[in-house]
Chain A
Amino acid sequence: MKRKVFYTGILLGLFIGINGLWGESFFFKAGVGAGYDSNLFSDPDAIAGILGMINIQSEGVFGEEPLQFYGGLDIYGELNQYYMSLDGKAAAGLIIKPNIYSFIKAIGAYQYYMNVFGAVNALAEFKGDLTPGLTGGVTYELRSQSSLSGATNETYINHGVKVNAFMDITDFLLADISVNGGLRTYTDVIPSAPLGNNMIGATAAFILVPDYNTDIKLGYMFSDYMSSRSGLTVFSTTNMLYTYNNAAVHTVFLELNYDISLEWSLTLMGRVDFITLTDIAKSETAYLAGVKTDIFIDPSVKLEIPLIFSGLTSEVIDNYNKLRVSFNINFLL
């Protein structure tokens, strides 16, 4: 049944995407790549492997402003000697631009992650200019996810709301501030009763754009997770830590984009999450550092080389880290 829904979604996405071909707002990106991962399963066993990957993205918008129809398809597949995975998402919806100062988007999507989960998403977004240098936005997102074949217990319904403000402080300095909250109910973790894990968070980021070829984003985020149960569980098959515990997370992040030339661009990124579990007082630190190189061979052929180092030090589960590097060649239409 779910597969049928997924394939129907793909067909719908393709149909809407190809419809977009009639206009000029149709985009297609397809790529293949190969890479190396020092820790395929992100755990202390650190099993390394060589990977092959494919990606297909297509997106079309058709219709005249103010009312436009949107269709999109996004597929990512990965293969190595231990597993094959496929993550596909088909989306369709409406974009409304009543005037140059406001924007409304309503999108429905289905995502299928082979053998892991299937999820239905509904998103409604409104953005509006409050003053010349201040844009406000409200987003509501509903996600209903069902775990497949017991790979995880991640079957839940999540209602997420985000309110954000984007400010031009000067011609080259911006601020992005948001407050978000989520109401999440897990239905499969404890068979007899649903388990709630709600969150509230706030993010503040500053963006510096000194020139067209450079932008720097530096931010801080605080998230507070509130669980309806205060026991701490480690899911035995995947060694996955469930924060069915209250937790506070402080995150700092940095992203630097620099175009060396018209054909070459670099992205440096870093992120550290300091996680403090409260009811059973334990702490963890998750970290990520990466560099991504994009090379345009011509405007429709793009080489992407991401190199990401990430890991976790934890008082609950064993520490691990991983390095992943890949070379991807993409064709753009």
Chain B
Amino acid sequence: MMRKIGITIPLILLFISSVNATQAELAPVLNGWGLSPSETAVVEAIIKDGLEKKVELKEMLDTLKEAKLKKYSFYDSSIELMKKIKLVAEIGGLDIPFSSDAEMKKYAYYLGQMINVSQMETLFREMKEKKMPKTQVKTVYELMFFLNSKGVPVSENYQTIYLMVKTGQAGQGDLDQVKNVVLKSADIKKSPSEIIGLIKNGLLKGKSLKVIFYDMGKK
């Protein structure tokens, strides 16, 4: 009996302290938000659920801070937080290339905010099959973020990059060339979306990237 109490008390203390630690970190984020006690309880419950799904507290707090900065309502903030937990949990279940590297993991999470989980899974599988080195995988992510910033629709962006990886034409030089041509899009009188569309169509037709870029500039 004494032995059971001896074990249980420290466990309870540990639990209380961890909850307190969470609350201590959560309090500054929730303070001044004007939430009712029941709303606070909801946020705490979502966070608890996230912790159980092995989502880092800091990430969840960052999401809340961002939602607060954007002046989201309590409802929208909760949705954002749940979306984040769902995303992290889903991505956590994927076979992320070079996932032992924290930076690569972070990039994969950013990617998860652009494309859906099944698209990521397909892309990751192709990258692994092609044995792409770490720097190249990183360049693929960076190119996708770059194209996103240039207003290229996400589906076109993903399909083009996937086809490049699939056809073995996603080497450093290939990826650099896509970025270079998009940067100089005004010179060839084509929008970034049109350039990406032409690459996708060319790859679907079985053309090499070299021929696709030649056609783009000369025709």
B214-A215 in contact (CB<8A): yes
Stretch at the interface among A38-46, A150-158, A168-176: A168-176
- For A210, the closest partner residue in chain B by CB is B210
Chain A residues with CB under 8 A of B190: 25
**A100-B205, A132-B205 known; A209 and B214 CB under 8 Å?**
yes
What's the Cα separation between A209 and B209 when bound, in Å? Answer: 10
Give the contacts of A83-140 with B (CB-CB under 8 A).
Answer: 100-101, 129, 132-133
B186-A299 in contact (CB<8A): yes
> Interface digits, B140-183 against A, CB 8 Å rule (1 contact, 0 not)?
00000000000100000000000000000000010001001001
Size class of the B contact interface (CB-based, 8 Å): 20 to 34
> Interface digits, A201-240 against B, CB 8 Å rule (1 contact, 0 not)?
0000001010110010000000000000000000000000
> Interface digits, B187-202 against A, CB 8 Å rule (1 contact, 0 not)?
1011111100000010
* Interface: B211 (CB within 8 A): yes
| A330 CB to nearest B CB, Å | 9
What's the Cα separation between A172 and B214 when bound, in Å? Answer: 10
What's the Cα separation between A25 and B205 when bound, in Å? Answer: 24
Chain A residues with CB under 8 A of B184: 296, 299
> Interface digits, B104-143 against A, CB 8 Å rule (1 contact, 0 not)?
0000000000000000000000000000000000000000
B207-A168 in contact (CB<8A): yes
| A93 CB to nearest B CB, Å | 15
Give the contacts of B205-219 with A (CB-CB under 8 A).
Answer: 205-211, 213-214, 218
A100-B186 in contact (CB<8A): no
**A24-B191, A100-B201, A132-B205 known; A171 and B186 CB under 8 Å?**
no
Chain B residues with CB under 8 A of A27: 186, 189
**A24-B193, A101-B205 known; A209 and B211 CB under 8 Å?**
yes
Q: Is the interface of B mostly helix, strand, loop or mixed?
A: helix
Partner of B205, one of A129, A207, A300: A129
| B159 CB to nearest A CB, Å | 12
What's the Cα separation between A212 and B169 when bound, in Å? Answer: 12
Chain B residues with CB under 8 A of A262: 180
Give the contacts of A258-310 with B (CB-CB under 8 A).
Answer: 262, 296, 299-300, 302
Give the contacts of A1-58 with B (CB-CB under 8 A).
Answer: 23-25, 27, 29
What's the Cα separation between A309 and B151 when bound, in Å? Answer: 43
B204-A174 in contact (CB<8A): no
A171-B205 in contact (CB<8A): no
| A73 CB to nearest B CB, Å | 13
A100-B204 in contact (CB<8A): yes
B214-A29 in contact (CB<8A): no
A-B CB proximity, top 5 nearest? A171-B208, A332-B186, A100-B201, A24-B191, A27-B189
Q: Beyond the given A23-B191, A132-B206, please list 12 additional residue pairs across the A-B interface where CB-CB is below 8 A.
A: A24-B151, A27-B189, A100-B205, A101-B205, A171-B211, A172-B208, A211-B173, A211-B210, A212-B210, A299-B184, A299-B186, A302-B187
A interface residues with partner B (beta carbon < 8 Å): 23-25, 27, 29, 59, 100-101, 129, 132-133, 168, 171-172, 174, 207, 209, 211-212, 215, 262, 296, 299-300, 302, 332-333
* A-B residue pairs in contact (CB < 8 Å), sample of 20: A24-B151, A24-B191, A24-B192, A25-B191, A27-B189, A100-B205, A129-B205, A132-B205, A132-B206, A133-B206, A168-B207, A171-B208, A171-B211, A172-B211, A174-B214, A212-B209, A262-B180, A296-B187, A299-B187, A332-B186
